[in-house]
């Protein structure tokens, strides 16, 4: 915080991902690590700024979730669960701060070309560079959006997946490639 009050913008963008399988005892710690970073990391990032922003009546808290939070995908239960939790946490925080002058923005990226995605053994439709994501992220915040999926094409895919009946979803995705587990 500056001597003139809280920052105008705080971004929580921590995220890790590894393949996880509940049947493997060693993946329990991986699951815990993913939830700790992806969910509690966001809470810990925002915590010191909420009260000062509320008192000042201004500011934006922007959290990066993922379209992976729309459905649970095979082999990445911890990541999907963490991003679903992040989406709901941000939604709740937005309601908590409604009318305070503090805006909460949820940004759900699709696939971004990063070291985290380079080992994915499956197709990543509409993948964009980190720089392109950053530009689109900034535009979404500048436009005052409280929820954005980047790139926009993934919003269509994610919404379709969210309403796809379980039988069709399961048949289509149960045999998809798996993210490598942490070794």
Count of beta carbons in the 10 Å neighbourhood of residue 55: 13
Q: Which one of the listed residues 70, 79, 89, 111 is annotated catalytic?
A: 79
Work out the angle at residue 182's Cα, subtended by the Cα atoms of residues 179 and 183, and round it to the nearest 5 degrees: 130
Q: What is the pLDDT of residue 119?
A: 80
- Whether 79 is catalytic is yes
Range of the domain at 29: 9-173
Whether 65 maps to a domain, the answer reads yes
Q: For the segment 129-183, what is each residue's pLDDT rounded down to a tens digit? A: 999 999 999 999 999 999 999 999 999 988 898 899 999 988 888 877 776 687 7
Whether 182 maps to a domain, the answer reads no
pLDDT bracket for residue 103 (50, 70, 90): very high
Q: What CATH number is associated with residue 13? A: 3.40.50.720
Domain count of the fold of the chain: 1
Whether 154 maps to a domain, the answer reads yes
Whether 1 maps to a domain, the answer reads no
Whether 2 maps to a domain, the answer reads no
If you average pLDDT over residues 1-26, what whole number do you get?
A: 87
Whether 168 maps to a domain, the answer reads yes
Whether 4 maps to a domain, the answer reads no
Whether 68 maps to a domain, the answer reads yes
Strands of the 103-109 sheet, one edge to the other? 9-12, 60-64, 103-109, 147-150
CA distances from 46 to 50, 132, 141 (A): 6, 25, 17
Q: What is the pLDDT of residue 3?
A: 62
């Amino acid at each position: 915080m500056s001597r003139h009050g809280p920052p105008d913008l705080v971004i929580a963008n921590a995220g890790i991902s590894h393949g996880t399988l509940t049947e493997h005892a060693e993946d329990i710690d991986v699951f815990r690590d993913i939830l700790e970073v992806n969910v509690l990391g966001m809470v810990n990032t925002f915590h010191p700024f909420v009260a000062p922003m509320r008192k000042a009546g201004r500011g934006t808290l922007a959290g990066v979730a993922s379209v992976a939070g729309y459905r649970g995908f095979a082999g990445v239960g911890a990541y999907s669960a963490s991003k679903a939790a992040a989406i709901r946490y941000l939604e709740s925080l937005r309601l908590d701060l409604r009318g305070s002058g503090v805006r909460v923005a949820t940004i759900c990226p699709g696939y971004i070309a990063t070291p985290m995605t380079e080992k994915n053994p499956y197709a990543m439709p509409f993948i964009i560079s980190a720089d392109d994501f950053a530009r689109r992220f900034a535009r979404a915040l500048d436009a005052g959006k409280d929820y954005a999926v980047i790139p926009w094409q993934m919003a269509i895919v994610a919404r379709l997946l969210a309403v796809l009946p379980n039988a069709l979803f399961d048949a289509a995705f149960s045999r998809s490639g798996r993210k490598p587990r942490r070794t």
